[in-house]
Structure 1
Amino acid sequence: MSEPKLGLPHRAILLVLMAEARQVSNKELKDRWNLTMTKPYRMALQDADLIVTDEDTKPFRHELTERGWKWCADELAADIPARAGSVGAGLYAVLAGVHRYLDRAGLALSDVFKAETEIVDLEGLIRDAYERLAARPKAWVRLADLRPLLGNVPRDAVDETLRNMDSDGDVTIIPDADQKNLTVEDRAAALRIGNEDNHQLAIGRA
């Protein structure tokens, strides 16, 4: 397949899809970036295998194909397009800087541009972390030991998931009976349920 000849609107749409690294709707393109995905633009990008469109949704939603990601990677080192204007020239200067950084760091474009939010099976992550720490099912595990295994998941999201899990039949979350010997880490990792701080977790059915 030969390289498509793309105008500035096509390029702008592709670069936005690169930056967002997810499906983006026609409405969001218009509202956030003042870009109008007309049918001719959409067809040209689809025909060039640069985007895939979910046409079962209203408005349509678009994301880059593998070929689209390659186009964006190549564009980082491209010359400034004709009639790009001063803002376009500045954008391509930034893209060139990103290209130099990727080369130095040995990274791919997808290492830099990722979706802002990713769906995480947080309960599954907690259960996996528990299994790594517990000697056996129903063994008590300190929340202070479990939390570091959850990565950079926001504290509020972890707490909400733990509270929801506490109502499951196989999950028990309790305070430490020996409050005097709680460490600073124990107190910092405590989960507040009602009016009580809880420090230990056990998973497993009786």
Structure 2
Amino acid sequence: MSEPKLGLPHRAILLALMAEAREVSNTELKQRWNLTMTKPHRVALNKAGLMVSNENTTPYRHELTERGWKWCSDELSAEIPARAGSVGAALYAVLAGVNRYLDREGLALSDLFKSENQIPDLEDRIRRAYERLADRPKAWVRLKDLRPLLGNAPRDAVDDVLRHMDGTADVTIIPDADQKNLTAEDRAAAVRIGNEDNHMLAIGRA
């Protein structure tokens, strides 16, 4: 299947679906993004295999396909479309910045854009965050430094995963022995395990 030639409305719809990372209705597209999904747009994007539409609902609902996600990923490094205007040019500047970030961090587009209802693999995210902070395996990392790298992951969910990880062979979570020098940020970031607040994390086998 050859790549379709898409106009600005088609591109805007695909990028909005990317940002939502879920099934989105015609009404939501209009109310949230001021985008109108016309029948020609819907037919063209479905025919190109970039989007699937649920036509058994009122209003219709639409979601990116794997091919659609691939198109969005490629669009991060694409040239500014003709007649994009100043706002469109600024959008593509932002997309280029997103592309540089993903390349730098070794992430996929789906790591960045997730539905609110999608449950991420928090343990994997915690381990990746630890690797960014630690200069070697088993080095101690403070939870106050690790938590900001987890984005908008719910605090309770992160704490549950940390407690689970603490029971595995390669993970150790402990209190800071020097309690007098704990900062307010250390105390706020601590995870409660048993009867203790814990502030330090190490990952790596002996």
Q: Same fold (TM over 0.5)?
A: yes
Counterpart for residue 91 of structure 1: 91
Aligned-pair RMSD on alpha carbons? 2.4
- Quote the residue 1:44 is aligned against: 44
1:107 is matched with 107
What are the superposed Cα offsets for residues 178-202 of structure 1, whole Å, 9 maximum, x if unpaired? xxxxxxx57999xxxxxxxxxxxxx
Shift, 1:116, TM fit:
1.9
Deviation at 1:117, TM superposition (A): 2.8
Equivalent-residue separation in structure 2 for 1:54 and 1:103 (angstroms): 34
The match for 2:143 is none
Q: Does 1:59 align with 2:59?
A: yes
State the SS of the aligned residue for 2:2. Answer: coil
Q: Quote the Cα distance in structure 2 between the aligned partners of 1:66 and 1:23.
A: 13
Q: Distance in 2 between matches of 1:94 and 1:44?
A: 26
Alignment of 1:11-160 (within 5 A): 11-118=11-118, 153=154
Alpha-carbon displacement from aligned partner over 1:60-84 (angstroms, at most 9, x marks no partner): 1000000000000000000000000
Q: Is 2:8 the counterpart of 1:5? A: no
Q: Following TM superposition, by how much is the alpha carbon of 1:154 offset from its aligned partner in structure 2, in angstroms?
A: 6.0
TM-score between both structures, scaled by the size of structure 1: 0.59
How many aligned residue pairs are there? 132
1:6–1:106 Cα change, 3 Å: same
- With over 3 angstroms needed to count, the CA separation of the structure-2 counterparts of 1:153 and 1:89, relative to structure 1, is closer
CA–CA separation in structure 2 for the residues paired with 1:187 and 1:27: 50
Secondary structure of the residue that 2:63 maps to in structure 1?
strand
Give the Cα–Cα distance (whole angstroms) in 2 for the partners of residues 111 and 119 of structure 1: 12
Structure (1 or 2) with the larger CA radius of gyration = 1
Residue 12 (structure 1) shift: 0.1
Runs of 4+ in 1 over 3 A off after TM superposition: 152-155, 185-189
Inter-partner Cα distance in structure 2 for 1:59 and 1:84: 29
CA deviation digits over 1:83-120, x for unaligned, max 9?
00000000000000001111111110000000023379
Which residue does the alignment assign to 1:196?
none
Q: Structure 2: 5+ residue runs without aligned partners?
A: 121-152, 157-191, 198-206
- Alpha-carbon distance in 1 for matches of 2:64, 2:11: 12
- The 2-side partners of 1:61 and 1:26 are apart by 6
Identity of matched residues, %: 73
Amino acid in the other structure paired with 2:54: D
The change in CA–CA distance for 1:66 and 1:95 in structure 2 (over 3 A counts) is: same
Q: Write the distance in 2 (CA, Å) between the matches of 1:56 and 1:40.
A: 18
Partner amino acid for 1:18? M
- Following superposition, the deviation at residue 153 of structure 1 comes to 4.5
Taking structure 2 as the reference length, what is the TM-score of the superposition?
0.59
